[in-house]
Amino acid sequence: MRPEDILVPTPSGVCCKRGGFFVDPTRAVDKAVITHGHSDHARAGHGAVLATQETLDLMRLRYGENFAGTTQAARYGETIKLGEARVSLHPAGHVLGSAQVAIETSGLRIVASGDYKNIADPTCAPFELVRCDVFITEATFGLPVFRHGDPDGEIAKLLHSVALFPERAHLIGVYSLGKAQRVISLIRKAGYDRPVYLHGALESITRYYESRGIALGELRAVRGAGKAELAGAIALCPPSALKELWSRRFPDPVTSFASGWMRVRARARQRGVELPLVISDHADWDGLTATIAATGAAEVWVTHGQEDALVHWCMTRGLKARPLDIVGYGDEELEDSASVRDGDGKAS
């Protein structure tokens, strides 16, 4: 039995014929297993969706009540029979509710990781290592140059700047699902207890995190706050808002952006980011390679962007490896990734 007989890579996602489902399909299908709520993985319009409760809730928040024909929530570790396959979800450590999908049939276990990170994040369950025969890994930061370092150190830089410029606002670009809540929680962990201000686009998901027991301290809407109140404050917004008219309400803002891409100085400069914060919800090069090795998989399939270096790394370790050419997975760390990716995608 070859892995390809169980899971077929197609341009719109991997398909398990024996189970009758796709994982994170990029087009509408009859049955989908969804790893997490980011919009390129979790699309509306499927006949049936299996995911964690949090992922289903986040899809409902984003797309409305009728985002799928039917839904089924699975707990982490619970085994569900789909056709001839046994499917279970395991924490991916990426965002709230994110899961790796383990698929077992004919004595083979394949794990589709979705997006993942293997470092601590107080806003979601920690990554769980699942040993397997074939591991499907993302490669968003699949180049040796990407080493994210310590997120607490990045937050210390931010709070140092806040102390240094008490009259300026600090405006941080963050992705709305996951990064926003993680940055707030890191700021709280560092002892900052003043209100944190939110752009309207971040409110509903952040309130949802709170409803699932993630404590984020006092949060206020930017909407309605005066310029004087925003002096010296920390505010979070989608990256695209940093350059919009919206940002002019802040007194002399220090613009910041929290992303793994901020490791590349040219990108920070290009975006006019004064205070780059290297904080990522994806594994870095060391995280990817350590995880691949630890799964014990003899075969690795690589998706998402920078596949080549990771495929090469696997082959030098004697692992079978191939890139999956799935069109449509983006990169939530850059909401406008296409334009920026064109700039220096391979140069780094």
Size of the site for Zn ion (CB under 5 A): 4
Residue 90 found at the interface with Zn ion (CB under 5 A): no
CB of 281 to Zn ion, least distance (A): 7
Comparing CA positions, the residue from 279, 332, 333, 331 lying closest to residue 306 is: 331
Of the pair 175, 246, the CB lying nearest Zn ion is at 175
Min dist. Cβ of residue 5 to Zn ion (A): 26
Q: Closest CB to Zn ion among 88 and 98? A: 98
Q: Is 321 within 8 Å of 299 (Cβ atoms)?
A: yes
- Nearest to Zn ion of 104, 281 (CB atom): 281
Alpha-carbon torsion angle 194, 195, 201, 206, nearest 10? 80
DSSP β-bridge partners for residue 144: none
Interacting span for Zn ion (CB under 5 A) from 107-115, 122-130, 213-221, 261-269: 107-115
Build a one-symbol-per-residue string for 147-186: x at contacts with Zn ion by CB under 5 A, - elsewhere: ----------------------------------------
Which residue reads 């087009």 in tokens?
27
Closer residue to Zn ion (CB): 54 or 115:
115
CB of 116 to Zn ion, least distance (A): 9
| Coil/strand/helix, residue 285 | helix
The two most distant CA atoms of the chain are separated, in Å, by 67
With contact defined as beta carbons under 8 Å apart, do 112 and 295 qualify?
no
- Closest separation in Å from C-beta 304 to Zn ion: 6
Q: How far is the CB of 177 from Zn ion (least distance, A)?
A: 8
Q: Does 115 bind Zn ion (CB under 5 A)?
A: yes
Binding mask 315-334 for Zn ion (x = CB under 5 A): --------------x--x--
302 CB-contact burial (10 Å; exposed 0-12 / middle 13-18 / buried 19+): buried
**Of 23-31, 110-118, 291-299, 305-313: span binding Zn ion (CB under 5 A):** 110-118
Tell me how far apart the alpha carbons of residues 313 and 185 are, in angstroms, rounded to a whole number: 34
Please list, residue by residue across 335-346, b when 16 or more beta carbons sit within 10 angstroms of its beta carbon and e when fewer do: bebeebbeeeee
Q: Is the dihedral of CA 54, 37, 92, 120 positive or negative?
A: negative
**125-157 b/e (C-beta count within 10 Å ≥ 16 → b):** bebbebebbbbbbbbbbbbeebebeebeebbee
* CB 117, min distance to Zn ion, A: 10
Nearest to 329 by CA among 34, 123, 128: 34
Please identify, using beta-carbon distances, which residue of 22 and 329 lies nearer to Zn ion. Answer: 329
Closest approach of Cβ 176 to Zn ion, in Å? 12
Please say which residue, 115 or 299, places its beta carbon nearer to Zn ion: 115
Site string for Zn ion, 10-49 (x = CB under 5 A): ----------------------------x-----------
Q: Which is nearer to Zn ion, 154 or 332 (CB)?
A: 332
CB-nearer residue toward Zn ion: 299 or 332: 332
57 binds Zn ion (CB under 5 A): no
**Residue at 160: amino acid letter:** H
Residues in contact with Zn ion by CB under 5 A are: 38, 115, 329, 332
